Amino acid sequence: MVALVANTAPVAFGALAVPITTLATVSGLPEHNLSQVVGRQTPLLALFVPIALVFIIDKGRGVRATLPATLTCGIAFALAQFVTSNFLSTQLTDIVASLVAAASVVLLLRVWRPAGSYVEAEEVAAEAGAAGPSHGSRSVTEVGRSGYPIGAGIGTAADLAERDSKHHDSGSDVFKAYAPYLIIIAVFSITQIPVIKSVFDAPTRSFQWPGLDLQTASGKPSTIPTFKFNWLAAAGTGMVIAGLITIPVIGISVAKAFRAYLDTYRQLFAAIVTVMAVLGLAYVMNSSGQTATLGAWMAGAGSAFAILSPILGWLGVAVTGSDTSSNSLFGALQVSAANKVGLSPALMAAANSSGGVLGKMISPQNLAIAAAAVGMSGREGDIFRKILGWSLGFLAFMCVIVYLQSTSVLSWMLP
């Protein structure tokens, strides 16, 4: 549950912002504009995610005990996500936000500690051997800093922490652990410098896709068959470059790195084929007029479409398991409906992605992966029932945000 709920606010900018770049492709809207709008929606959600995670583990008692840390984490992530998506780089948004949030909590813990500690009973049992019966996972306020009732003879959480602190990672180990992320940030930051950016854009070529002769509803030539082959400027190429630089920095052999590269393709093969198929379907729907037809029908909701927009994205991700796929299917539909209703196309398209992030936690694919990872295969329904409320609650919050942004109340938030 913790992992699934945590995978909300970052989803729209995940995988180097592929959901955003895909949304820009199918909707015809500028990528940076969409990044700016999503970067003014999901940070509001990110403010509350750390608190929700602690609540799942230790309910209100834990929330009260860790409030300075959860607020620090949420605010740091939200601010970093907003600044990066709006002013720095769409692709680096989640990486920068995550590192800033983690660093902020580490710095906070240098000057502040919660009054008590949360210790799993299993951990205490491992330390104590057969010292007593298990009482389950409890917070320090209930078990007196030990995971067992006071007097169980096991020692305090502080004692456990002192024993754990005897192991220290070397500075070299820490650097190697962070090196891939720092290199990614450096590579993508450098490629945003105008001179370097122009070099990377130079090999880009656009051409008409063979065999396609499409026209718009007005009889004019369609721009859909025009394929932009930006192989060097693409985010994937930047990731490959960062990976090649990382190999000598972390000190692994080229053979080992190549095996990891192939393993990644094998692991993601089904996902790659799925996304390609969904993108193909999206192009067919856009070219044939199906998307415009659905958009015209949904435009019948009038201004209330601003509330339905995130729900549509939520449904798309809940079914496909991918914000990228949902944006592929419904991005153009959102724009079509927005134009007919008189709403901001960028706002509605962004709402599809922002609402979609909340369907990630209940999608069958993610539930299956989560259940398999913790040895609960066959119990996906149990996870679904426990997590559905969180998904719906956050979705309602996002619907309110988008609706208010479509009115004069919060329209000032938009670029």
pLDDT in tens, the chain (415 residues): 999 999 888 899 987 888 999 899 888 899 999 999 999 999 999 999 999 999 999 888 889 999 999 999 999 999 999 999 999 889 889 999 999 999 999 999 999 988 877 776 665 555 555 444 444 444 444 443 333 333 333 344 455 555 555 678 888 898 999 899 899 989 988 988 889 989 999 999 999 989 888 887 778 888 778 888 989 988 889 999 999 999 999 999 999 999 999 998 887 787 677 767 877 887 788 788 887 787 778 788 888 899 999 999 998 888 777 888 888 888 888 998 999 889 999 999 999 999 999 998 998 878 887 887 787 878 888 999 999 999 999 999 999 999 999 999 999 999 8
Q: Are residues 108 and 153 in the same domain?
A: no
pTM given for the model: 0.74
Q: Which residues pair with 207 in a beta bridge?
A: 227
Predicted pLDDT at 241: 94
Domain span holding position 353: 2-115+252-413
Biggest CA pair distance of the chain: 83
Q: Are residues 279 and 406 in the same domain?
A: yes
Helical H runs in 204-253?
Answer: 235-250
Q: Measured between alpha carbons, how far is residue 66 from residues 5, 134, 162 in Å?
A: 18, 25, 20
Q: Are residues 110 and 45 in the same domain?
A: yes
The number of distinct structural domains making up the chain is: 3
DSSP label at residue 302: G
Predicted pLDDT at 141: 41
Secondary structure of residue 215 in the 3-state scheme: strand
Q: Are residues 297 and 398 in the same domain?
A: yes
Q: Are residues 256 and 376 in the same domain?
A: yes
Pairing of strands 226-229, 205-208: antiparallel
DSSP label at residue 177: H
Q: Are residues 409 and 262 in the same domain?
A: yes
Place of tokens 């007005």: 218
| Whole-number Å distance between alpha carbons of 384 and 389 | 9
Q: Are residues 139 and 232 in the same domain?
A: no
Predicted pLDDT at 260: 92
Residue 239 tokens read as: 């990731």
Q: Which residues pair with 228 in a beta bridge?
A: 206
| Whole-number Å distance between alpha carbons of 90 and 226 | 24
- Decide: 26 and 328 in contact? Cβ < 8 Å: yes
Predicted pLDDT at 375: 77
Predicted pLDDT at 129: 53
Q: Are residues 82 and 199 in the same domain?
A: no
Q: Are residues 267 and 391 in the same domain?
A: yes
Secondary structure of residue 296 in the 3-state scheme: helix
- Decide: 299 and 340 in contact? Cβ < 8 Å: yes
Residue 337 tokens read as: 């409906």
Q: Measured between alpha carbons, how far is residue 298 from residues 29, 295, 305, 333, 392 in Å?
A: 20, 5, 7, 9, 21
Q: Are residues 297 and 361 in the same domain?
A: yes
- Kindly report each contact of residues 271-278 with a partner whose C-beta sits within 8 Å and lies 24 or more positions away, as own/partner: 271/322, 274/320, 274/322, 274/325, 275/322, 275/324, 275/325, 275/328, 278/320, 278/322, 278/324, 278/325, 278/328, 278/329
Amino acid 98 reads S
Q: Are residues 246 and 257 in the same domain?
A: no
Q: Are residues 283 and 382 in the same domain?
A: yes
